Amino acid sequence: MSSRYGLEIRAAAAADAPGLSDLLGRYGHAVEPRILAERLDALRAEPGTALIALEWGPPSGLVVVHWYRTLEFATPIAQVTTLLVDEDARRRGIGRLLVKAGAQAARVAGSDTLELLAPPDHADLRAFCLATGFTEAGSRFSRALRKKSG
């Protein structure tokens, strides 16, 4: 998709699952490579995209953007549901480039708005959002749709 000084931003593929599994695992989101590959393939069929940042090794960053229609707005709303940059690769603009590439994909899909979910206990992510032009807009509630067994 884009390249800058040996950095490439491109769509994630099933073949990227082992490297992404390592990246996610370092931040408490362990997913087996085989399962992650299946999820990446499934995401390709959905309205959204998973983009990775690659330098000279495994992925150093990931952004997942979904877009969806509502009755309130004429254009789809795009939402960043995952944004992760390896700690060793931070402060070099990779997060900004991933968000920019995700925003471009959302624009191509017809979106005019990009949201990013930033939990209150992630001060660094909240600061990143404010520094990259996002504004705070309300809160979010969640509930399970199935009863947990056990």
List the structure tokens of 66: 């979904």
The CA distance from 31 to 82, in Å, is 14
Please provide the CATH number assigned to the domain covering 2-131: 3.40.630.30
SS3 60: strand
pLDDT at position 128 is 86
Residue that has been written with the tokens 């660094």 in this structure:
124
Length of the chain: 150
State the pLDDT at residue 142: 65
* Amino acid 147: pLDDT: 79
> What sign does the CA torsion over 83, 11, 29, 81 have?
positive
Residue 139 has pLDDT above 80, yes or no: no
Statement: the pTM of the whole predicted model exceeds 0.75: yes
Mean pLDDT of 13-28: 91
Least confident stretch, 35-49, 56-70, 108-122, 129-143: 129-143
Q: Where are the domains positioned within the chain?
A: 2-131
Taking only the tens place, the pLDDT of each residue in 89-135 is 788 889 999 999 999 999 999 999 899 887 778 888 888 888 888 88
Q: How confident is the model at residue 41 (pLDDT cuts 50, 70, 90)?
A: very high
Instruction: Count other C-beta atoms under 10 Å from residue 67's C-beta.
Output: 22
Name the nearest CA neighbour of 24 among 11, 36, 12, 15.
Answer: 36
